[in-house]
Amino acid sequence: DARPESSAHPAAHLWDDGKDPIAELDDLMNIRKVLLNKFSDNSIKTGMPMATIEEALVPIYLLHRYQLEAVSKIIGGLNYTYAVKGDGQLVTEFIKPETQMKALDGLLASITPENLSLSEELISKIPPRPVGYPRSRETFKSNTGLTFDPLAAAESITNTTLRLLLTPERLERLIIHHSRNPNQPSLEKVLDKLVNASFKENNANKDNFNGEIARMVQMKLLNQILNTIASNRTPENVKTRLYLALNEIKNEIYLAGNDAKKGTAIAMNKLIERFEQHPEEFKLAEPLPMPDGSPIGTFENFN
């Protein structure tokens, strides 16, 4: 039950920490913030290429990666056991609505520009990879050629967070749980909060790195919503709610602001227009993956 990203049990996770996933995510984000603020070339040995700062940075920047998955399972989750008649165990139980919304708040906070950005001082200390030190499965992907790409680092964790939130099975559970108990959060409420967090802040109009991150998050959210609508796994009742969210995004797209924001608005409008005309042709751009992180090995290691 712990392996699928779409799984429902609030305690079935791999590689997370703590008894309370939400509190642990908050703690990890605070620890991560302190470590990133202090991060420098002291993270590598004297004589090592400065570019290898990236290898030390990856596990700190992605410190919360497994906790994100644990917290996502609370949203639309279900507490249950494999009970048998007469054993007295809990069979099924809804998760408290306030707990689910707190989990959503934690996930949304993790993809704000403040939590995704890196300092200029740190970025400027990471040069291109020298001969003998190529990019590897433990470094970030890059859209900038040889140079370190801090926006790609932010994109990789954003892709993961949005994918976890918008898995079709999770969205369908939100609908069903709310239909059975109106106190449970509705899918409409979750999507509205997600869109508001991404589109109603002023970060996207900033002409700085935080502005670039905010616009990237908006584009990734739009793409993930379109991808979920287009997926054969997505039930029709989920698609109807996603179309409402898409309409809300269309209402938030406007051409005011700096050129970068105008360009993003034009691109989003074009993307939505093409999708509405030919939804069957939509294909999600290959998302930048995070560097490998889960324990790696083969069964022979355990013999």
Residue 70 lies in a domain: yes
CA angle 121, 124, 130 (to 5 degrees): 145
pLDDT at residue 184, as a whole number: 98
Report the distance separating Cα 11 and Cα 79, nearest Å. 8
Residue 4 lies in a domain: no
CA angle 175, 26, 207 (to 5 degrees): 85
pLDDT at residue 255, as a whole number: 65
Report the distance separating Cα 147 and Cα 126, nearest Å. 8
Residue 73 lies in a domain: yes
Residue 136 lies in a domain: yes
pLDDT at residue 285, as a whole number: 81
pLDDT at residue 205, as a whole number: 80
Which mean pLDDT values do the consecutive 10-residue runs of the chain (303 residues) have? 81 79 97 96 96 96 96 96 91 96 98 97 97 93 96 97 97 98 98 94 83 96 96 97 96 77 91 92 85 59 41
Residue 268 lies in a domain: yes
Return the bridge partners of 78, or none.
94
C-beta separation of 23 from 104 below 8 A: no
Between strands 78-80 and 92-94, the pairing is: antiparallel
Report the distance separating Cα 33 and Cα 109, nearest Å. 13
Question: What's the domain count of the chain?
Answer: 1
Residue 61 lies in a domain: yes
Quick one: which of 238, 198, 226, 232 has its CA closest to 283?
Answer: 226
Residue 238 belongs to domain spanning = 21-295
SS3 per-residue string spanning the chain: CCCCCCCCCCCCCCCCCCCCHHHHHHHHHHHHHHHHHHCCHHHCCCCCCHHHHHHHHHHHHCCCHHHHHHHHCCCCCEEECCCCCCCCCCCEEECCHHHHHHHHHHHHHHCCHHHHCCCHHHHCCCCCCCCCCCCCCCCCCCCCCCCCCHHHHHHHHHHHHHHHHCCHHHHHHHHHHHHHCCCCCCHHHHHHHHHHHHHCCCHHHCCCHHHHHHHHHHHHHHHHHHHHHHCCCCCHHHHHHHHHHHHHHHHHCCCCCCHHHHHHHHHHHHHHHHHHHCHHHCCCCCCCCCCCCCCCCCHHHHC
Residue 6 lies in a domain: no
Residue 254 lies in a domain: yes
